[in-house]
C-alpha cells in the first residue's frame, strides 16, 4: 500500500489557458490535456473549435455572455469536484491565461480541498498577445520601461483604483474588460495631463471578427462610438501604440519604392 495514491478516487482537475482567441494560439500541452479529458468545462471566450480536441469528453458551457451567467462561480466549483469524483479528469478551459484575471487559482484551491489532484497549463495571455497581434509592443526601448495589466471592473463593479495610480506613471497601461468604464479611465488620464497620449482599443483580439480603434486619450471615446467598440476588448494606453502606425508607414514607403523601381524598369 506504499504506492497508494489518495487522489486516484477523487479525480483530477487541469486548468488550461486557451489563449487570446485564435485557436492556433493554444499550447501543445493544452491540446494534450483536452485529448485526455473526460469532462471539459469551458468559458464564453473560448472558441468552440477547441472542443474538437476532446471528442469523447462531456462538454459543459459555464461561461457568461453580456452579464448572463450559465453558472455562478460557487456552482462551477461544485461542478468541478462532482465531475472529477464521478468522471475522472476535468479540464477547465479558460480564455487567455487562467492565472490572469481567470479565477483559475480559486478553482484549483477549492478542488484541492476535496482531494482532487490539480494542475495548470499556462495560456498565452490576451494582455500582451492581443496588442502584439496588431503590432503594438507592450514595452519598447525609449518609449516605456514597464507595463501595468489591470482589470477594468472589480468584483464590486467599480473601476480599479490601480488605474489612477497607473495614470501617474510612464508605463504602458493595459486594461482588460474596461469598456463600460472608458469615460472614467479617460478622465483619470486627462487629469494627469495626458490628453495626447496614444490609445488603442482592440475588440475580439486575434479572432476573425477583430476590430480596432486608434486615437488619443482625448479622442478615443469618439473613436469607440464611431466604430461601435465594446467588450470583450483591451484598452492600450501609451506611446507604444505609435509603433503600429510607424510600422505601417515604413511598409507603405517600401511599397512606394518598389513601385518606383518597377516603373523605371529596374524591377
**Dist. CA 49–CA 203, nearest whole Å:** 20
Residue 120: partners with Cβ closer than 8 Å, 6 or more residues away: 14, 15, 16, 17, 98, 99, 104, 108
> In the annotation, is 207 catalytic?
no
Residue 104: partners with Cβ closer than 8 Å, 6 or more residues away: 15, 17, 92, 94, 98, 120
Name the β-bridge partners of 93. Answer: 16, 42
C-alpha cell at 68: 448572463
C-alpha cell at 265: 524598369
> In the annotation, is 108 catalytic?
no
Residue 86's alpha-carbon distances to 4, 12, 39, 114, 124, in angstroms, are 19, 11, 10, 13, 31
Name the β-bridge partners of 65. Answer: 68
Is residue 34 within 8 Å of 93, Cβ to Cβ?
Answer: yes
**Dist. CA 71–CA 108, nearest whole Å:** 17
Q: Which of 32, 59, 64, 140 is catalytic?
A: 64
Place of cell 480564455: 95
Going by the DSSP 8-state scheme, the letter that residue 144 receives in this structure is B
> In the annotation, is 8 catalytic?
no
Instruction: Please write down the HEC assignment for all residues of 107-134.
Output: HHHHHHCCCCEEEEECCCCHHHHHHHHC
Q: Which of 22, 38, 43, 97 is catalytic?
A: 43
Q: Which of 177, 207, 211, 223 is catalytic?
A: 177
Active-site annotation, residues: 43, 64, 177
Amino acid at each position: 500500500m506504499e504506492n497508494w495514491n489518495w487522489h486516484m478516487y477523487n479525480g483530477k482537475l487541469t486548468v488550461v489557458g486557451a489563449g487570446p482567441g485564435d485557436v492556433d494560439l493554444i499550447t501543445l500541452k493544452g491540446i494534450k490535456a483536452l485529448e485526455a479529458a473526460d469532462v471539459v468545462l469551458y468559458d464564453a471566450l473560448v472558441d468552440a473549435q477547441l472542443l474538437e480536441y476532446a471528442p469523447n469528453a462531456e462538454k459543459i458551457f459555464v461561461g457568461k455572455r453580456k452579464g448572463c451567467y450559465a453558472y455562478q462561480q460557487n456552482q462551477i466549483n461544485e461542478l468541478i469536484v462532482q465531475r472529477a469524483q464521478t468522471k475522472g479528469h476535468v479540464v477547465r478551459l479558460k480564455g487567455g491565461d487562467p492565472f490572469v484575471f481567470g479565477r483559475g487559482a480559486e478553482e484549483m484551491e477549492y478542488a484541492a480541498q476535496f482531494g482532487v489532484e490539480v494542475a495548470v497549463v499556462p495560456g498565452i495571455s490576451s494582455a500582451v498577445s492581443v496588442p502584439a497581434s496588431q503590432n503594438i509592443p507592450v514595452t519598447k526601448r525609449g518609449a516605456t520601461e514597464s507595463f501595468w495589466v489591470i482589470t477594468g471592473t472589480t468584483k464590486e463593479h467599480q473601476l480599479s483604483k490601480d488605474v489612477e495610480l497607473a495614470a501617474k506613471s510612464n508605463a504602458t497601461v493595459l486594461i482588460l474588460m474596461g469598456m463600460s468604464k472608458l469615460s472614467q479611465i479617460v478622465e483619470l488620464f486627462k487629469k494627469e495631463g495626458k490628453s495626447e497620449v496614444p490609445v488603442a482599443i482592440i475588440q475580439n483580439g486575434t479572432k476573425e471578427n477583430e476590430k480596432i480603434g486608434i486615437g488619443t486619450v482625448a479622442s478615443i471615446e469618439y473613436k469607440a462610438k464611431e466604430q461601435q467598440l465594446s467588450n470583450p476588448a483591451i484598452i492600450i494606453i501609451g506611446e507604444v501604440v505609435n509603433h503600429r502606425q510607424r510600422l505601417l508607414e515604413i511598409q507603405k514607403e517600401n511599397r512606394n519604392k518598389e513601385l518606383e523601381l518597377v516603373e523605371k524598369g529596374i524591377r
